[in-house]
Amino acid sequence: MISSKKSLGQNFLIDKNIREKILSKIKIKNQVILEIGPGKGFLTESIIDKKPKKIILIEKDINLYNALKLKYENHENITLYNTDILDFNISTLKKINIISNLPYNISVKVLLNIYKNNKNINECILMIQKEVADKFNYKKQKINKYKFLTEVFCNYEKCFDVPSTVFKPQPKVKSSVIKINLLKSKIDYEKILNFSNLIFNKKRKKLSNVLNLNVTKKKLMDKRVEELKFKELLFLYQSF
């Protein structure tokens, strides 16, 4: 029996109803599916039943990887990698759909990596910490760096919250399922990340004291970043 590792943020989903509710939100049949952190294969089992074209499994835990390798050794359309998703080069793949119950300790980094590789990914269904789901949800409250980047690179939907009782072991934080449709943006990821870090790291200052821009809408530069709407920020970025 393989037990969970707290160091890897492992909380295994065990509820079949929640599993089917998650998978109903994304196209699987005849699609290339990338599953991040499949664990014991609970989601994978149902993904297989839905007839994907190919499944790519990324599992960092060597014990779980070995168990999955044995479990799916006769499945020709399943490819397994024993690596950290943050070390895996997503840019080598094309037109993939991502499914994951993400480890909470890397969820922010994984989401940003998805945005970075937006041209290679069609859509994602992800279970993440509720707090992170709200932090990235540009439809709620005032803007922040993560909401700005999310709106640049994708259509974002918070689908539903998930109780801790559907996991083993039960996490101490609340979880949410989010759906992401990537926009195949032409915007340079590194450039807009630098822009975002610059303005949101100094959010208490007026933009005129943060950015040296020659823009037509001078009044924008007298405001602080959190006072601006998405389109206004995008306008400033285009002059960056």
Q: What is the pLDDT of residues 22-35, one digit of tens each?
A: 999 999 999 999 99
- pLDDT score of 10: 61
**How many other C-beta atoms are found inside a 10 Å radius of the C-beta of residue 35?**
22
Taking 70 as the threshold, does the pLDDT of residue 111 lie above it? yes
Q: Could you give the 3-state DSSP secondary structure of residue 167?
A: strand
Higher model confidence: residue 57 or residue 2? 57
Helices (H), the chain: 16-23, 42-49, 62-71, 107-116, 130-136, 145-153, 189-200, 230-237
Each residue of 128-147: pLDDT tens digit?
999 999 999 999 888 999 99
CA distance 80 to 50: 19
Return the pLDDT at 6.
47
Pick the range with the lowest mean pLDDT from 88-97, 169-178, 190-199.
169-178
* CATH superfamily ID and name for 6-186: Vaccinia Virus protein VP39 (3.40.50.150)
Q: What is the pLDDT at residue 2?
A: 45
Kindly report the average pLDDT of the chain as a whole number.
Answer: 92
What per-residue confidence (pLDDT) applies to 4? 45
**For the chain, counts of helices (H) and of strands (E):** 8, 9
Per cent of the chain over pLDDT 90 is 82
Pairing of β 175-182 and β 121-129: antiparallel
Q: What is the mean pLDDT of residues 208-234?
A: 89
- Locate 14 and state its tokens: 């065990």
- Domain range annotation of the chain: 6-186, 190-237
Confidence grade of residue 8 (pLDDT, cut at 50, 70, 90): very low
User: What's residue 141's pLDDT?
Assistant: 82
Q: How confident is the model at residue 227 (pLDDT cuts 50, 70, 90)?
A: very high
Give the helix/strand (H/E) hosting 129. strand 121-129
pLDDT confidence band for 45 (50 / 70 / 90) = very high
Q: Residues 191-219: pLDDT tens digits?
A: 999 999 999 999 999 999 999 888 777 78
pLDDT at 171 (0 to 100): 84
Cα 211 versus chain centre, distance = 29
What is the average pLDDT across 78-91? 96
Residue 31 in tokens = 């699609």
